[in-house]
Amino acid sequence: MSMQSQSFLWQELRDQADFDFRAGENELNRQAQILSTAIANEGKAGEKYDDYLSSLINTLGGSYRSGLTGGYSGGSSNQGGTRAK
């Protein structure tokens, strides 16, 4: 393997690790924002939506995580164009 190929491979791995880290971080930030908004709006009206909010966060988190573990498809340098995790 040439040095250029090895450098390219390491860059691909760094890019994927950065993508994975940011995806997890963004999910946590979204959940924190939803909870922050709910707390700010809490009152008599907020009491009846507590269960709904919990359900919504669980649903969003589950669908987002299943999207992450479903694989990666996009424009990469590999010839197939897809890479499974």
Average pLDDT, rounded, for the chain: 74
Residue 39 belongs to some domain of the structure:
yes
Does the structure show a pLDDT above 80 at 17? Answer: yes
Residue 76 belongs to some domain of the structure:
no
Tally of structural domains, the chain: 1
The count of other CB atoms within 10 Å of the CB of residue 2 is: 7
* Residues 6+ away with beta carbon under 8 Å from 35: 53, 57
Residue 52 belongs to some domain of the structure:
yes
Q: pLDDT at position 28, please?
A: 82
Tell me the pLDDT tens digit for each residue of 49-71.
667 777 777 887 777 777 666 65
Residue 32 belongs to some domain of the structure:
yes
* Cα–Cα distance measured from residue 40 to residue 62, given in angstroms and rounded to the nearest whole number: 25
Residue 53 belongs to some domain of the structure:
yes
User: What domain range is 26 assigned to?
Assistant: 22-65
Residue 17 belongs to some domain of the structure:
no
Residue 60 belongs to some domain of the structure:
yes
